Copies of this chain bind each other. A is one copy, B any other.
Amino acid sequence: MAGNTFHKLRDEIENGIVTGEFEPGERLDEVQLATRYGVSRTPIREALMQLSAIGFVEIRPRRGAVVVDPAPERVFEMFEVMAEMEGMAGAFAARRHTEEDRAALVAAHAQCEAAAISEDTDRYYYENETFHRAIYAASHSGFLEEQCIALHRRLRPYRRLQLRVRNRMKVSLKEHGDIVAAILAGDMEAARTLLRGHIAVQGDRFGDLVATLGKRDRRKSLMG
């Protein structure tokens, strides 16, 4: 076994949470995970410790680890902060982007457009992520980039169905276009405002999120 099993396990379990394999509120049994991954409890525990520090799981003393199941208000707060962080990244990008950043942004936007035209939501989801990461990179703040990526991952379980909403892809693409224009024009405040609005949970998307959270709560109450 390579030197850093716990690191791989951390990624593995985190991925399971992010993709919804382990649902919010689900109990994470140490021995069960250990047998599943063919290791002992020790590296499993170390992985869970790391995940608890990031906020993916909660470890209650003597009662084991569960996937964090934040209250709806907390999820809204997280989206709210995400919106501001993206705005921040956009503002920095507008001020600091290089020629390469510009090319990457335009290319990522074009890929999103292609995905939107072919109405391939899965592909759009992927290209959308590339687009946003291009903005983070263009901010030229490695720290901000990391923070954005981390928060983005944490929110992924709550963003799953968003793009399947009617017309969301087209609206999203239009917003991307405006964002690219603002960044390339070096307009910090426009980039900030547009990105904030692009991410923010408001209008229809508010209802979508409520529906998602509602489903989750129903399931939870069924399970006791």
Q: How far is the CB of A59 from chain B (nearest CB, A)?
A: 8
Chain A 35-51, CB within 8 Å of chain B: the 1/0 string? 00000001001110111
Chain B nearest CB from A14 CB (Å) reads 10
Inter-chain contact A142/B45, CB cutoff 8 Å: no
Judge if A6 is at the interface, Cβ distance under 8 Å: yes
The size of the chain A interface, using a CB distance under 8 A, is 30
Q: Looking at the assembled complex, report how far the CB atom of A2 sits from the nearest CB atom of chain B, in whole angstroms.
A: 8
A contact face: mostly helix, strand, loop, or mixed: helix
Residues of B within 8 A of A49 (CB): 6, 46-47, 49-50, 53
Identify which of A77-85, A119-127, A156-164, A215-223 touches chain B.
Answer: A77-85
Q: Check B77 against A144 for contact (C-beta < 8 Å).
A: yes
**Given known contacts A51-B53, A54-B53, is B3 in contact with A81 (CB within 8 Å)?**
no
